């Protein structure tokens, strides 16, 4: 699937993977988020085959003139999860809207798991 | 050395003083930190977010029964976690979590190596919660400070010396941030979060030497700006017991639901634990979802985690109730006109978001049913908009956000009310006014939306404000406090006086198709000067109609529109 934008000199179409990559990279830059969770078994398999899969854990839905983004994330134990989720929503929306010029209808965040780093257990 | 005080060790009282002074210092400096945002319009919030986070943490310290250091830092970590606001606030709360862990074993006196360990642990904890750490930010400043602290401790410094080393390390690292992160250099600033951290360390240092009398004075004048105390009051509503509805599934092997039940029961109520050795579902209402997750996380992998704040849900319900009450009441509630249910409902009503009394009046005179105050620095929440939409006696409602930052909240309203809601994506007050010209009350929502959206391209918006700090935009060199003119949100003109900038700005916007120039002057600007500007423009452009209005908007000397 691709989203099309009518520009002055013709159409611009943007593939789903492009939107997903931009959303994924923006999300991964957010503090407190430590990973994207695979959406399904297929994606878990792709993970084994590809090193840098920035689209991992990102779902894009196309609406009439906007997109809806679904993110499956892993957060670090000990951060304020509600605040991290809010920041992720804000940044992903901003990145996709400014870089691609698409309207983002909503960014839904699913916290799939929490990582407990047991680096030190004295 | 400040005050000449040298402390070999830090006790609980001193630590508390350090934190209180740090919170105080950051609160006083937050505007300076805010001003380090990377686009020079007054809307940065890093300083405010960090200050709110630290204030929430310090407030928690009041609960300390005794001066034990381990207990104090535990409260510090908890308070900062609960109060974390914004990206910088979340990082700060991680910092304090690590800091607290570093001191968890200390009872009454922290020695130099304890303090150094706390700084190191704090820095390491901040790096743990991010996938791609960006250097040249708060993370770097904290790391360099911790390295300096550790080195000082190894070289035999006392506790005071370690804190001084951390402060100097942080200051040096902060000054270096523009060399590491190009975007900072381009804008001519240091990193805002790093600056916030330096403010905190400065407070630590000053707190070491604050006498008990000075502390008392300082605490007496504790209340900060009114807006913030309101925020803090909201943040500290922790009286509701077991407010987090926490639910998740544990996947593992050899899970013992009975063990989970006994362990979790004291931590909350409404507990349900069901499942078997491989899959167990847990549901509990608790005040400590973190502890629940930590405990269960050690039993297996957690999945489908959902944590809802039931207290906030309650408040939402409460406010919905209020709306219902308003729907049927004919009393005029202050700030909230009740729906006039006696009159016939309109088919389409309008809600507009506007900053400034003058502009609000203009929108009302154009037929807007309800004006919500808001704009550049104070965006209304979705809830404010929901209330406004509900208060309009119409079957469907159009929202004019009049600011790009409000469009998103406005769109969310659609799903939260029973009425049909449409949003015209107006990004400025002039666009909103232009859209109102195309509004026809008897047409349907859809017809109006099409006509109003179509009007947006016909108006050009210019804004005149001041730069909160120095920067470079394109080939324009801008100094702090310079007056800048923005055309369609981009810096186009820079100068020394609002009127000269407004004049130049309008010149860049007018072309042969222009016919109307409207000027809305801000709350801090004089009507005479605005009139004079109007006259000058009328002389320059005899073919155009020039109109001058009092907009009353904050921060912007002028908002101009050219149609």
Nearest C-alpha in A relative to B304: A112
Mean pLDDT, residues B342-358 taken together:
81
- Report the distance separating Cα B388 and Cα B333, nearest Å: 13
Least reliable range by pLDDT among B146-155, B163-172, B528-537? B528-537
> With an 8 Å Cβ cutoff, are A114 and B297 in contact?
yes
Pair B554, B355: CB distance under 8 Å: yes
CA distance A84 to chain B (A): 7
Cβ-defined contact of B129 to A112 (cutoff 8 Å) = no
To the nearest whole number, what is the mean pLDDT of chain B?
81
Contact residues on chain B for A112, CB-CB shorter than 8 A = 303-305
Q: Which two tokens stand for residue B432?
A: 């909103």
Q: Which has the closest alpha carbon to A79: B201, B61, B144, B85?
A: B85
User: Which chain A positions have a beta carbon within 8 Å of B131's beta carbon?
Assistant: 28-29, 33-35
The answer to whether B134 faces chain A, any CB pair under 8 Å, is yes
CB contact under 8 A, B131 and A33: yes
With DSSP H G I counted as helix, E B as strand and the rest as coil, what are the percentages for chain A, rounded to 5? 35, 35, 30
- Determine the Cα–Cα distance for residues B48 and B56; give it in Å rounded to an integer: 12
Q: What is the pLDDT of residue A20?
A: 92
User: CA distances (Å), B285 to each of A114, B242, B246, B262, B310, in order?
Assistant: 19, 5, 6, 15, 9
Contact (CB, 8 A) for B449 and B553 = no
**Segment 354-413 of chain B within 8 Å of chain A by CB:** 408, 411-412
The CA-based angle B541-B543-B544, given to 5 degrees, is 70
Given a contact cutoff of 8 angstroms between Cβ atoms, the answer to whether B222 and B230 are in contact is no
Q: Does B180 touch chain A (CB under 8 A)?
A: no
Sign of the four-CA dihedral B242, B247, B253, B258: positive
Residue B138, class by beta-carbon neighbours within 10 Å (0-12 exposed, 13-18 middle, 19+ buried)?
buried
State residue A62 phi and psi, 5-degree precision: -100, 130
Rounded-to-integer distance, Cα A7 and Cα A1, Å: 19
Closest CB from B90, B303, B408 relative to A80: B90
Residue A40's CB is within 10 A of a number of other CB atoms, namely 10
pLDDT score at B376: 56
Question: Residue B22 above 90 pLDDT?
Answer: yes
Q: Do B85 and A83 touch (CB under 8 A)?
A: yes
Tell me, yes or no, if B45 comes closer than 8 A to chain A by beta carbon: no
Question: Strand B460-466 vs strand B394-400: parallel, antiparallel, or unpaired?
Answer: unpaired
Flag whether residue B302 sits within 8 Å of chain A, measured between CB atoms.
yes
Give the sheet arrangement for strand B370-373, strand by strand. Answer: B370-373, B346-354, B394-400, B420-423
Residue B501 CB burial class (10 angstroms; 0-12, 13-18, ≥19)? buried
**CB distance B90–A35 less than 8 Å?**
no
Please report, for residues B74, B104, B113, B125, B145, the alpha-carbon distance to residue B121 in angstroms, rounded to integers and kept in the order given. Answer: 14, 11, 12, 6, 12
Contact B411, A63 (CB under 8 A): no
Q: With a cut of 60, say whether residue B7 has pLDDT above it.
A: yes
Going by C-alpha positions, the residue among B244, B143, B77, B410 that lies closest to residue A79 is: B77
Closest C-alpha to A72, from A105, A39, A25, A32: A39
The pLDDT tens digits of the residues spanning B162-216 come to: 999 999 999 999 999 999 988 888 888 899 999 999 999 999 998 887 777 777 7
Q: Which residue of A has its CA nearest to B303?
A: A113
The residue assigned the tokens 């523009």 is B178
pLDDT in tens, B246-300: 888 888 888 887 788 888 887 877 677 766 777 777 878 788 888 888 888 888 8
| Three-state secondary-structure class, residue B31 | helix
Q: Does B181 touch chain A (CB under 8 A)?
A: no
Task: Please name the residues between 80 and 119 in chain B that touch chain A, using a CB distance below 8 Å.
Answer: 81-82, 84-87, 89-91, 93-94, 97, 101
CB B507, CB B537: distance < 8 Å: no
Cα B235 from chain centroid?
13
For position B142, what pLDDT does the model report? 97
| Contact: A113, B302; criterion CB under 8 Å | yes
CA distance B407 to B404: 6
Q: Rounded to two decimals, what is the model's pTM? A: 0.52
Cα separation, B425 vs B375, whole angstroms: 14
pLDDT higher than threshold 50 for residue B328: no
CB contacts, 8 Å: A76 with chain B: 94, 128-130
Contact B129 A31 (CB under 8 A): yes
Whether A79 sits inside 8 A of B101 (CB atoms) is no
Q: Is the pLDDT of residue B505 over 70?
A: yes
Which has the closest alpha carbon to A92: A9, A29, A13? Answer: A29
CA distance B127 to chain A (A): 9
Report the C-alpha gap between B299 and B280 in whole angstroms: 10
pLDDT of B226: 35
- Say yes or no to pLDDT of B538 above 60: yes
- CA-to-CA dists, residue B122 to B116, B196, B275, B429, B470, angstroms: 10, 16, 38, 46, 33
Q: How many CB pairs under 8 A join A and B?
A: 86
User: Is 80 exceeded by the pLDDT of residue B317?
Assistant: no
The larger pLDDT score, comparing residue B40 to residue B461, is at B461
* Among candidates B129, B294, B309 on the partner chain, residue whose Cβ is nearest the Cβ of A79: B129
pLDDT digits (tens, 9 = 90+) for A7-58: 788 888 889 889 999 999 999 888 999 988 887 766 666 666 655 677 788 9
**Dihedral class, residue B270 (left if φ above 0, else alpha if ψ from -120 to 50, else beta):** left
SS3 B471: strand
DSSP code per residue over B288-339: -HHHHHHHHHTTSEEEEEEEEEHHHHHHHHHHHHHHHHHHH--S-BTTBPPP
Tell me which residues of chain A have a C-beta less than 8 Å from any C-beta of chain B. 28-35, 75-84, 87, 93, 105-106, 111-114, 116-117, 119-120
What CA–CA distance (Å, rounded) separates B11 from B67? Answer: 8
Residues of B in contact with A65 (CB under 8 A): none
Structure letter (DSSP) for residue B543: T
């Amino acid at each position: 699937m691709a989203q099309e934008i009518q520009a002055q000199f013709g159409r611009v179409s943007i593939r789903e993977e492009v939107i997903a990559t931009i959303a994924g990279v923006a999300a991964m830059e957010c503090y407190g988020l430590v990973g994207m969770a695979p959406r399904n078994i297929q994606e878990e398999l792709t993970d084994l085959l590809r090193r840098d899969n920035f689209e991992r854990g990102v779902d894009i839905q196309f609406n009439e003139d906007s997109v809806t983004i679904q993110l499956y994330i892993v957060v670090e134990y000990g951060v304020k999860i509600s605040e991290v989720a809010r920041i992720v929503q804000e940044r992903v929306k901003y990145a996709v809207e400014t870089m691609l010029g698409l309207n983002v209808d909503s960014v839904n965040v699913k916290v799939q798991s929490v990582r407990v780093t047991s680096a030190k257990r004295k | 050395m400040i005050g000449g005080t040298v402390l070999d060790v830090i006790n609980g009282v001193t630590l508390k003083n350090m934190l209180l002074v740090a919170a105080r210092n950051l609160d006083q400096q937050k505007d300076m930190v805010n001003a380090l945002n990377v686009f020079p319009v007054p809307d940065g919030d890093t300083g405010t977010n960090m200050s709110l986070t630290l204030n929430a943490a310090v407030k928690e310290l009041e609960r300390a029964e005794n001066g034990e250091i381990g207990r104090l830092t535990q409260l510090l970590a908890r308070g900062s976690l609960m109060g974390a606001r914004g990206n910088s606030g979340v990082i700060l709360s991680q910092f304090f979590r690590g800091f607290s862990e570093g001191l968890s074993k200390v009872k009454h006196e922290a020695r130099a190596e304890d303090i150094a360990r706390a700084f190191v642990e704090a820095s390491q904890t901040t790096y743990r919660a991010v996938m791609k750490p960006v250097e040249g930010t708060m993370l770097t400043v904290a790391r360099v400070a911790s390295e300096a602290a550790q080195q000082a401790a190894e070289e035999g410094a006392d506790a005071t010396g370690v804190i001084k080393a951390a402060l100097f390390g942080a200051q040096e690292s902060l000054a270096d941030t523009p060399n590491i992160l190009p975007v900072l250099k381009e804008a001519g600033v240091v990193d805002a979060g790093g600056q916030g951290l330096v403010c905190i360390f400065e407070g630590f240092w000053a707190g070491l030497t604050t006498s008990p009398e000075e502390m008392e004075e300082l605490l007496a004048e504790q209340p900060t700006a009114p807006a913030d105390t309101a925020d803090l009051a909201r943040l500290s509503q922790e009286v509701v017991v077991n407010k987090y509805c926490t639910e998740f599934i544990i996947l593992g092997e050899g899970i013992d639901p009975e063990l989970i039940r006994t362990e979790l029961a004291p931590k909350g109520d409404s507990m349900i634990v069901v499942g078997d050795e491989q899959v167990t579902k847990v549901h509990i209402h608790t005040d400590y979802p973190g502890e629940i997750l930590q405990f269960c996380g050690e039993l297996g992998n957690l999945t489908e985690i959902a944590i809802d704040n039931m207290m906030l849900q309650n408040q939402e319900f409460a406010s919905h109730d209020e709306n219902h009450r308003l729907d049927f009441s004919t009393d005029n509630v202050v700030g909230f006109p009740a729906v006039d249910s006696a009159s016939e409902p309109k088919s389409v009503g309008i809600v507009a978001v506007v900053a400034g009394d003058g502009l609000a009046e203009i929108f009302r005179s154009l037929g807007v049913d309800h004006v919500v105050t808001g704009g550049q620095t104070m965006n209304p929440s979705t809830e404010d908009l929901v209330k406004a939409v509900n208060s309009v006696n119409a079957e469907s409602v159009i929202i004019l956000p009049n600011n790009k930052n409000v469009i998103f909240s406005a769109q969310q309203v659609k799903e939260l009310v029973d009425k049909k809601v449409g949003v015209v994506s107006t990004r400025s007050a002039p666009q909103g006014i232009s859209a109102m010209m195309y509004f026809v009350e008897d047409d349907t929502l859809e017809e109006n939306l099409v006509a109003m959206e179509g009007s947006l391209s016909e108006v050009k918006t210019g804004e005149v404000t001041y730069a909160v700090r120095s920067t470079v935009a394109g080939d324009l060199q801008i100094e702090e406090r310079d007056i800048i003119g923005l055309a369609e949100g981009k810096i186009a003109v820079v100068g020394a006086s609002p009127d000269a900038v407004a004049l130049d700005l309008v010149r860049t916007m007018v072309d042969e198709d222009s016919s109307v120039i409207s000027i809305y002057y801000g709350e801090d600007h004089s009507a005479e000067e605005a009139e004079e500007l109007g006259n000058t423009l009328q002389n320059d452009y005899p073919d155009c109609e020039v109109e001058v209005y009092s907009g009353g908007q904050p921060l912007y000397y002028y908002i101009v529109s050219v149609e």
